[in-house]
Every structure is written in C-alpha cells, then in structure tokens.
Amino acid sequence: MAETSTTPASARSWHPVARYGDMARLWVRAELSYPASFAMLVVGSMLINALDFAGIAIMFSSIDSLGGFGLREIALLYGATGVGIGIADTLIGSVERIGEFIRTGRLDQMLTKPVPLLVQVCSDRFTLRRLGRITQAGVVMAWALPVVDWTPSRVLVAVLMVLSSSALFFGLFVLFSCVQFWTSDASEFANAFTYGGNTLTQYPLTVFPRELAIALTVVLPIAFVNWYPCLYLLGRSDPFGFPAWLQFCSPLAASVVVAAALLVWRTGVRRYTSTGS
Amino acid sequence: MPLIDVSGLERTFVVRRRAGFVRRTRSEVRAVHDLTFSVETGEMVGYIGPNGAGKSTTIKMLTGILVPTAGSLRVAGLDPSRQRTQLAQRIGVVFGQRTTLWWDLPLRDSFELLRKIYRIPDARYRENLDRFVELLDLGDQLDTPVRQLSLGQRMRGDITAALLHDPEILYLDEPTIGLDVVSKGRLREFLRALNAERSTTLLLTTHDLQDIEALCDRVIVIDHGTSVYDGSLGGLHAQGGSSRTLVVDLVDEGPPIDVPGAWVRKVEGPRQWLSFPTEASAAPVVAAVAAAYDVADLSIQEPDIEDVIRDLYSRGA
Ligand SMILES: Nc1ncnc2c1ncn2[C@@H]1O[C@H](COP(=O)(O)OP(=O)(O)OP(=O)(O)O)[C@@H](O)[C@H]1O
Ligand SMILES: [Mg+2]
C-alpha cells in the first residue's frame, strides 16, 4: 500500500498547477449543475460591471478630458486594471476567505492535504461567475486599442502590462489576506487595498496630488498596474516628470510584490495557531 | 526508528485577554509540555486525557498543522511542519468536531476532489470507495450534499475521506462523537480490520473508553500537556491501585461483613460492597463470606477503567 501513496519526485514539479486545474474543474462542474442560477449570476455581474464604465462615459458628455486624458485613453487605463484584477480575482479570489477558513477550522483540513496550501485556498469554490468582470474590462480595453499607435515594442509592453497587472493584484490579494493570519476578521481591510487600488487606477493619476502618485509608485506600487505602461503605449512623457524607465518596470514591480506576498504567506502559515477545538 | 517519535515536545499559545477598554494582557498557555513517546508501525494507540489536556494540540503537531515551540518530532522520518505536504500523502486525519468534506457538494463529489488532491490511481480509488461505502453503510448518502447529512453519516463520510488514499498512519480525534451504538460497533470492527490487513497505525483520541477497550492494546494518558501513563490497558488498573468488588446480598440486614482479605466499602440495607485486590483470587473471599453469613446472592465486578482514569486525572490536577 505504501508504493501507491508515495509521490515520485519527477511528478511533483507539475503538481501545484495541475492540482489547481483538477480542483477548479470539479468546482466548475458543480457550479454548472445548476445552469439557471449560474446564468443569472453571470448576466447580473455583467450588467453591474457594464454600468460601472457607463458612469465614466457619461461624465465625458460634459467634459472633454479628465486629468489631460480623453475617454479612449481612460478606457485603456480602465480596461488594463479591470482585466488584471479580473484575472487575479478569478484565479485566486478565494484567498480573501482565509479568515473564514481559519475560524471554521477548514485551514486545518487543508494543511493535512498533499497540495500546497495556497493552491488549495485559491481553488476552493472556484467560480466562473467572475468571468463577467474580465469580459467587461476586456471589451472596454478592446474599444480603446485604436487610440494606441501600435509598434512591436508597444505590443510587447501591452502584453506584459496585462500579465503584470494580474500578477500585481495576485500579490496584493495574497499580501493583504495574510493580515487575517494575525487578526482573523480583517477581510474588509484587504478589500480596501485591492478593490480600492483597482478603483484608483481606473483614473489617470494626474487627477490626484503628486504625493499620492509617489505613494502609488513606491509604497503600494499599483501605478505599475496600468499607469506607467499606458504612458508608454500612448507615447506620453510622464506628467509628474518621473523617469521614463519606470514605464518598463511593471514586471519588476509585480515580481517584487509577488515575492513579498509569498514570503508573508509563509510566515503567516508558520505562525498559524489553529483554533482551540 | 519508530514511525512516530516525539521527544521533549512543547507547545505554548500566546493568549491576549481584554483587561479594560484598550489594554490587553498577554499570557501564555502551555498546551503541551515535555511530551515524549514513540509509536511503532501497526500499533493501535489510545491517546486519552481530560478536556484541555493537549490531545488535539499534539495531533496538530504530528500532522504539521502546528509548529512545535520546542522539542523534536519525527513522523515516518519526516519533520511534519517542514515537510507537511510530503507527509500528508502518508497520513489520514479525522477531527470528529470538524468535517473535511465540502459542505455544498454531494458526498461523491467530495470524494472525487480528494481523489484529485491525493492523486489516487483510478482502480485503487474505486476499490477503496466501494469497500468503505459498504462497510460503513454509506451507499444511500453518496448523492446527498454534505450539509444535509446527519452527524453520524457525516462522520462516516469523513472516515472514508481520510482513508481513500491508503494512509500508513491514521489519526482519529474523537471519531465516535455522535455515532449510535451500532455505528460505533461497525466503526471499531472496521478499524480493527484495517489494522489487521494493512497494518495501518492508529492514534485514537476519545472520551469513550469503550473505543479504547475495543481497539487499543496500548494507552497513553496525557494531562496538563504531559504524559502521565504510557503502557498497556491492563497495566492502567495496577497503576490506579484499583480493586475488584464483591457484591453480597444477605438474607437479612446485618453489620458489615468481616472476612480476611477484603474490606467493606459500602452498605445499603441487606446489600454490601466488598473490595479485594485485583491480583487476589475471588474464591477464598467468596468461600469465607458464604461460610460465615446467610447469603442470598453474590456477584463480582471487575474494576472500572473509567474509575481508574478518573483517579489518574484527579491526581494530576
Ligand atoms: N489555538 C489556540 N489558541 C490558544 N489556546 C489554545 C489553542 N488551542 C488549544 N489551546 C489551549 O491548549 C490547551 C490544550 O488544548 P487541546 O485542544 O489540545 O485539548 P484536548 O486535550 O484536545 O481537549 P478536549 O478533550 O477538550 O478536546 C487548552 O488549554 C486550550 O485552551
Ligand atoms: Mg480535542
């Protein structure tokens, strides 16, 4: 019986992602077994998201530009951050529920399973419902694409922008969810930074004071989600006079945030104290 | 090397209590303290102790859920908290108070998820599932969402869930909570068979001493985080200095019976309770009583393990 249960080392490398896929598939299957309620939720989420951008578009019926940016340019910013947070939220949105997992003892159960904890937490109750948001943000971004004067290097930066913004939000979700290892009911706190960050980045940073722009570059680096790469895509020089090389630093910022998040996550897991019963 | 090897194990918790409006006092709870024991492959060990003794905390360290504060700990040659995912493949855990199943999914889907998590080969999975479902009588519940199961049904589901991947070690933390007499009997039989066929090592925590008597040759009693007894179940009796009891029904009420080798513990009308040492034979005592008194009925009670343990617990307190 022992032979069947030990894992060969070679098979372990593909383990986490494959495990994620397996588990997510089962949740999707369960979700689709109630097609009517699934359809309603998806349509509902699309409607809510559509209204979200409609608000900004309506604003432009009375103004021509916001912080020096036109509607299509803002749509590019909006789409980039929306797709980023949408992908991150779809793939790992459950990490917000870590506090609930701690309180209910679910985390104990997960810790006794041979799959990395983060993979289990993120795939728990995987749902396609969140695809509504990605779709909406994707449509807005597609509509904005003609505003860019495309060159091969801009295509590259655009692709890296989408990947980095997903990774950045991934890192932020994990990082702020980790707070719940210390105080297990701080999920609102996490939301303030992730969703709050998303809202801030829907606007050009020029509408905010310079201090905030600095803070969003070096403290909570969400300016790298869309702002800096979009400046490059739009061929603009930095309105705050910050160095131009920042426009290529999104992948670096994303890597730093993800690394920090994984480190804090490990620390949180090691100091996890479970519950008394 | 023993399969489970624990030495000088220690775990403290920091608890903060409110002391006034904002002020907090910080104190330490020592849940496990200088705990040492080892378990060999194939043993079935009862791990018992009063509430708050540190049983669940020990199991959480053995499974890698909690990181020990101090001491050394090896399970199947691995360090549980550092090699947790590797160890997980080889152990099964049931926390009777909590479920490992997914609340919203039918039992079958929960098992299916576990098949993916443990990467159980298809044939093995089907074989195990069929067998456990039959032995634990779960056939009718397979398509019921877990939240609609009764406590006992859910528990049987949890036990199946812990065993689908053929673990070498099974930790059971109060697995018989909420089970009726028939289910308890079935579960015990099932665990015994599992141990006999696959030499699955079993560490069982329970407050139902019948579980222990039915399953475990060895018990570890823990109190205030440290082991106060480790040995055979039989040996516990001697530890407790316990005695057997002769219950005598006299024809008429009378003064306390006076025979050599036994002493009266209680008198209630014509019925008297006499104690005599566990090691001594009952025959001479019975003969002496029958010779000197008018006896209507006699019976012998074996020492009650619960009494022994209660004794042990209160001595530690
Ligand atoms: N997460 C925790 N935080 C703080 N204290 C804890 C925690 N877990 C356990 N304790 C404390 O540690 C001690 C041992 O608890 P544990 O749960 O191990 O006891 P137990 O032997 O399993 O008891 P029971 O029979 O009631 O299940 C208790 O005093 C408990 O209050
Ligand atoms: Mg307990």
The amino acid that residue B262 corresponds to is A
Six-digit token pair at B261?
């080798």
Q: What does the DSSP 8-state code read for residue B257?
A: P
Residues of A in contact with B86 (CB under 8 A): 7, 114
Q: Which residues of B touch A (CB under 8 A)?
A: 13, 56, 60, 63-67, 81, 84-86, 88-91, 93, 95, 97-100, 104-105, 109, 112-113, 116-121, 124, 165-168, 198
* B65 with A112: Cβ contact below 8 A: yes
Distance B58 CA to ligand 1 centre (A): 9
What's the whole-model pTM score? 0.84
* B109 with A104: Cβ contact below 8 A: no
The residue whose CB lies within 8 Å of the most ligand 1 atoms, and thus the one to mutate among B10, B12, B13, is B13
pLDDT at A277: 64
Chain B CB within 8 Å of residue A273 CB: yes
pLDDT at B77: 94
Give the DSSP H/E element, type plus range, for residue B9.
strand B4-18
pLDDT at B97: 85
Count the neighbouring beta carbons within 10 Å of the beta carbon of residue A41: 17
Q: From CA B50, how far away is CA A82, in angstroms rounded?
A: 54
* A273 with B13: Cβ contact below 8 A: yes
**What's chain B's length in residues?**
317
Question: Nearest ligand, CA of residue A273?
Answer: 1
Q: The complex's ipTM?
A: 0.81
pLDDT for residue B51 is more than 70? yes
Chain B CB within 8 Å of residue A72 CB: no
pLDDT for residue B266 is more than 70? yes
Cα separations (Å) of B65 from A106, A274, B58, B84, B155? Answer: 11, 8, 10, 8, 21
Query: Residue B226: which of B57, B40, B76, B1 has the closest Cα?
Result: B57
pLDDT at A185: 64
* A115 with B117: Cβ contact below 8 A: yes
What does the pLDDT look like over B212-265, one tens digit per residue?
989 998 999 999 999 989 998 878 776 666 678 889 999 988 888 888 888 888
Domain map of chain A by residue range? 2-271
Q: From CA A149, how far away is CA A235, in angstroms rounded?
A: 8
The amino acid that residue B134 corresponds to is E
pLDDT at A10: 43
Q: How would you write the pLDDT of chain A (277 residues) with one tens digit per residue?
A: 334 444 444 444 457 888 898 889 888 988 888 888 888 888 888 788 888 889 889 989 889 899 999 999 999 999 999 999 999 999 988 888 888 898 888 999 999 999 999 999 999 989 888 888 888 999 999 999 999 999 999 999 999 999 999 999 999 999 988 988 887 666 677 778 888 888 899 999 999 999 999 999 999 999 999 999 999 999 999 999 999 999 999 999 999 999 999 999 999 998 898 887 6
Six-digit token pair at B17?
């209590």
The minimal CB distance from B90 to the residues A5, A23, A116 is found for A5
pLDDT for residue B69 is more than 90? yes
Nearest ligand 1 atom to alpha carbon A273: 1
pLDDT at B242: 66
Which residue of chain B has the CA closest to A109?
A: B100
Q: From CA B248, how far away is CA B233, in angstroms rounded?
A: 28
Distance B51 CA to ligand 2 centre (A): 7
Is residue A92 a contact partner of residue A177, using CB atoms and an 8 Å limit? Answer: no
What does the pLDDT look like over B104-151, one tens digit per residue?
889 999 999 999 999 999 999 999 999 999 888 888 889 999 999 998
User: Backbone phi, then psi, for B180, in 5-degree steps?
Assistant: -80, 170
**Cα dihedral across residues B158, B161, B166, B168: positive or negative:** negative
Is residue A170 a contact partner of residue A177, using CB atoms and an 8 Å limit? Answer: no
* B98 with A105: Cβ contact below 8 A: yes
Distance B57 CA to ligand 1 centre (A): 6
Q: From CA B307, how far away is CA B244, in angstroms rounded?
A: 12
Q: Which residues of B278-301 are buried (b: 16+ CB within 10 A; e: fewer)?
A: eeeeeeebbebbeeebebeeeeee
Q: What is the mean pLDDT of chain B?
A: 89
Q: What does the DSSP 8-state code read for residue B10?
A: E
User: Which residue's CA is minimally distant from atom 10 of ligand 1?
Assistant: A276
The amino acid that residue B90 corresponds to is R
Look at B59 and B18; give whichever has higher pLDDT.
Answer: B59
What does the pLDDT look like over B158-203, one tens digit per residue?
999 999 999 999 999 999 887 888 889 989 999 999 999 999 999 9
Q: From CA A207, how far away is CA A188, in angstroms rounded?
A: 26
Question: Nearest ligand, CA of residue A103?
Answer: 1
Residues of A in contact with B121 (CB under 8 A): 4
Residues of B in contact with A109 (CB under 8 A): 93, 95, 98-100
Closest-CA distance of chain A to residue B212, Å? 21
Six-digit token pair at B100?
């490992």
Pocket of ligand 1 (CB under 6 A): A 273-276; B 13, 15, 29, 31, 49, 51-57
Question: Nearest ligand, CA of residue A105?
Answer: 1
The amino acid that residue A240 corresponds to is F
pLDDT at A14: 58
